[in-house]
């Protein structure tokens, strides 16, 4: 029973990562557009409510990283058990998650740099609209491009293991491959929804298998691959 309870924390972390990712991205996404006028950009940063929203969103994305790391560590354990001694794909999955976390955190800090500097650092109100345009672009680039490429590594590695061993249902395997392709276009913002979609799908499957140990699950999957 204690083993099954420990296994429950992996899907719980996956759901928590899903929620914090969506909420965090939406909150930090409320930033000035690159096409906005200089006056509009500076007025946006002068608004205390706008600055507070971005700061809170950045903190939420930091929690996303913690939850994703917990989820990825549990996923790696299942993948490693399924593939046996050759655990390269399991390591790729964990490494991809770590890369995703690092870039999402870096992007969140870039987005919150000006608001936090004004709110907590006693910095004067920003007067350079070029800097106010540049930092959000760096932040979104790190999250939606670099971070999503790390997620692709995690998702594709898990999907390949699922395809080879039958560890996961076939629908989840192909969902992973589709999500991996969609995330290649994460720079367009909306495709990033593929990451929480996959996290929910994987978490649901892991919830259903939480009553069996990873070893039992991988053995039964190896004998009877999922259709």
Residue 118 has what pLDDT? 77
Q: Is the pLDDT of residue 224 over 50?
A: no
Mean local confidence (pLDDT), 101-110: 95
Residue 46 has what pLDDT? 78
Q: Is the pLDDT of residue 160 over 80?
A: yes
CA distance 14 to 207: 10
Share the mean pLDDT of the chain. 85
Residues 6+ apart with CB under 8 A from 48: 119
Each residue's pLDDT tens digit, 25-73:
999 987 776 666 777 778 888 778 888 899 999 999 999 999 999 999 9
Between 134 and 142, the more confident residue is 142
CA distance 54 to 123: 17
Lowest mean pLDDT among 58-62, 92-96, 115-119, 220-224: 220-224
Per-residue pLDDT band at 218 (split at 50, 70, 90): very low
CA distance 67 to 17: 5
Each residue's pLDDT tens digit, 135-146:
888 899 999 999
Q: How many residues does the chain have?
A: 227
Q: Check: CB of residue 94 under 8 Å from CB of residue 76.
A: yes
Residue 212 has what pLDDT? 57
Delimit the domains of the chain by residue range: 2-223
Lowest mean pLDDT among 65-69, 77-81, 130-134, 154-158: 130-134
CA distance 18 to 183: 15
């Amino acid at each position: 029973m204690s083993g099954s309870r420990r296994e429950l924390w992996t899907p719980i972390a996956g759901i928590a990562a899903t929620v914090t990712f969506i909420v965090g991205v939406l909150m930090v996404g409320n930033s000035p557009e690159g096409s906005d006028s200089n006056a509009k950009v500076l007025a946006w940063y002068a608004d205390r409510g706008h600055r507070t929203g971005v700061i809170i969103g950045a903190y939420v994305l930091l929690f996303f990283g913690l939850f994703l790391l917990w989820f990825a560590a549990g996923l790696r354990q299942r993948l490693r058990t399924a593939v046996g001694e050759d655990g390269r794909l399991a390591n790729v999955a964990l490494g991809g998650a770590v890369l995703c976390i690092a870039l999402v955190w870096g992007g969140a800090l870039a987005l919150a740099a000006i608001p936090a500097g004004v709110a907590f650092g006693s910095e004067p109100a920003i007067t350079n609209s070029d800097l106010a345009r540049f930092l959000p672009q760096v932040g979104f680039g790190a999250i939606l491009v670099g971070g999503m490429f790390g997620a692709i590594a995690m998702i594709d590695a898990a999907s390949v293991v699922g395809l080879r061993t039958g560890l996961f249902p076939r629908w989840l395997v192909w969902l992973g491959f589709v999500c991996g392709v969609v995330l290649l276009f994460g720079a367009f913002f909306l495709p990033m929804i593929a990451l929480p979609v996959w996290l929910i799908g994987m978490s649901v499957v892991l919830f259903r298998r939480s009553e069996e140990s990873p070893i039992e699950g991988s053995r039964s999957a190896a004998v009877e691959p999922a259709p």
